[in-house]
Structure 1
Amino acid sequence: MTFAPVLHAEWIKIRTLRSLVWALLAVLLATAAFSALAGLDDSGDSGDSGGEVFDPLFSAFFGVSFGQIAAITFGAQAVSAEFQGGALRVSLAAVPDRVRWFLAKAVAIGGPALVVGLVTGGVSLAVGKAALGTRADGLSWGEGLRGVVGCGVYLTLMALLAAGLAAILRSGVATLSILIPFLLIVSFVIGGASGTVADFVPDKAGQVVLHETGDGTLGPWSGLAVTAAWAAAALTAGAWSLRRRDA
């Protein structure tokens, strides 16, 4: 079977599984809602709050920190569903080339994640700027565009990272049990450590693109490149695991 019909089959799975559709919708809703809440909070506007300078761009995209949970849930569920009820054996019976099948699965996950991520970025920017009011006057058109594109790419990469890890662990629960505590605890603890190895953690590196200015080692696009490297490594390991282990 050539790649196109394999991709079409995987896309049918994505759009017909209700849990996956809801996960994509949750990406948009969670990001926009928390971005609005962050914009309404003016407690950190003065530059002397904890020594941190107010960043209107990151405030507009603050909800991405929560929307990414839905993104990794989408990626993990899309792959882990194949390991339930013998679904993977049926898929591989139709597509014996396991690498081709997994590539189609990754594209079927990344495509809708990117579209939803870009829409989420646009909505988040609009909602965030409306909530910020005059505090967002300093944001340029170019910074806003960078934030929207960066938001879409970042959420897509996090979904693919989860997909690769789910292929290794063969469990959505195990994948989320690792990634969610990591994003909510580990990254929060090292969040203030810049100029160190902490800058290369996948979520911290990728979210540099959502800041107006960065004080770490990485820039906006080099940070996304680091996150892309993490996602590529997870997908490569997932493909290797799929080839070496029984369905």
Structure 2
Amino acid sequence: MVVQTGERLDRARLTWGGQFFAEFLKLWSMPQTTVLYAVTAIVVVGFGYAAVLVAGMDADGGMPPIDAFLDPTHLTLSGVGLAQMAVACVGVMALSTEYGSGLIRSTLVAAPRRGRLFLAKAAALGLSTFAVMVPTAFTAFLVAREPLESLLGTAWPMDAVVVRALLGTGIYLTGIALLGLAAAALVRYTAGGIGVVFVLLFVLPMLPLVLPVSARETVEAFLPADAGSRLMKVTTPDAVLNAGTGALVFGIYIIMALVAAWAVLSRRDIR
């Protein structure tokens, strides 16, 4: 298997398609990739189903979950907030493992144009994550659909708006994976890259709590996780950002991170 992969990599040298294929092979040759994608899928589907069941029990107990009725589709995606860290780890390790093992030197010998190499890594990671996470989002919705309709007391069809939210979930998680890749390029170490993404997703959203209430909601809306989460919501009543503007803000964060990572990787010594 190692020999076959080496031969494929040798044939793929220096062309864009070859670099993409090589990075795709390397990504999926890491056992962590399959494990972390599987963990993400299990958490998204399992927690979404559990959230709907708990909301149903609350309703039976006389405490109707208002948020569930405002955006039932988003309730089925409740596991995304927890699972996103696993996807981020895939992005980090897509590059950091090469620095840790020293394979980055061989990679740069075969592909000395570092900018194009980084774009190939980003493309392989992005397409892989999107291809896995979109079916995961649809599965989460379909699995939780029956108890959700029982909770609502009415049918909840998979219309165009719901499909947009499910596709948006795949886009959001793809963006998180790319943030992980950018973090790995900037710090080069697995633990450091994971730490950077953890701060962006879980620590940074806590900082607006020290702000006045009048400014807190606006600041929160423009943070990466909150802006990106608008992609997964069907309704955004009285929200600072809607799905379109949230996607724009989130996309700007991703582009800025990738550009910074590309610049650093292109100019920094590999040692």
TM-score, normalization by structure 2: 0.83
- Normalised to the residue count of structure 1, the TM-score between the two structures is 0.90
How many Å separate the matches in 2 of 1:70 and 1:242? 24
Contact in 2 for aligned 1:61/1:128 (Cα 8 Å): no
In structure 1, the gaps of 5 or more residues are none
- Give 2:185's aligned residue: 167
d(CA) in 2 for partners of 1:32 and 1:146? 18
Structure-2 separation of matches of 1:53 and 1:188: 26
Partner of 2:163: 145
**How far 1:178 sits from its partner (Å)?**
2.7
Aligned residue-pair number = 245
Name 2:144's counterpart in structure 1.
Answer: 128
Are the counterparts in 1 of residues 201 and 224 from structure 2 also a CA contact under 8 Å?
Answer: no
Tell me by how many angstroms 1:34 deviates.
Answer: 0.8
C-alpha contact (below 8 Å) 2:145/2:156 kept by paired residues: no
Give deviations 1:5-39, integer Å, cap 9, x for gaps: 01111111011111111111122111111111111
Secondary structure of the 2:239 match is: coil
Letter in 2 for 1:23: L
Q: Tell me the secondary structure at the aligned position of residue 101 of structure 2.
A: coil
Deviates more, 1:58-67 or 1:90-99: 58-67
User: For residues 34 and 177 of structure 1, what CA distance do their matches in structure 2 show?
Assistant: 24
Measured at CA, do residues 201 and 71 of structure 1 come closer, stay the same or move farther in structure 2, by a change above 3 Å?
A: same
% identical aligned pairs: 27
Q: For residue 132 of structure 1, report the CA deviation from its aligned partner.
A: 1.9
Change (3 A) 1:138 1:186: farther
Which deviates more from structure 2 when the two are superposed, residues 196-205 or residues 210-219? 210-219
Q: 1:182 offset after TM fit, Å?
A: 4.1
| AA partner of residue 98 (structure 2) | E
Query: Pick from 230, 233, 247: which aligns with 2:256?
Result: 233
Q: 2:208 and 2:231 mapped to 1: Cα distance?
A: 18
Name stretches of at least 5 consecutive residues in structure 2 with no aligned partner.
Answer: 1-13
Q: Could you say which structure has the higher helix fraction?
A: 2
RMSD: 2.3
Q: Which moved more, 1:64-73 or 1:36-45?
A: 36-45
Aligned to 2:82, the other structure's residue is in SS state helix
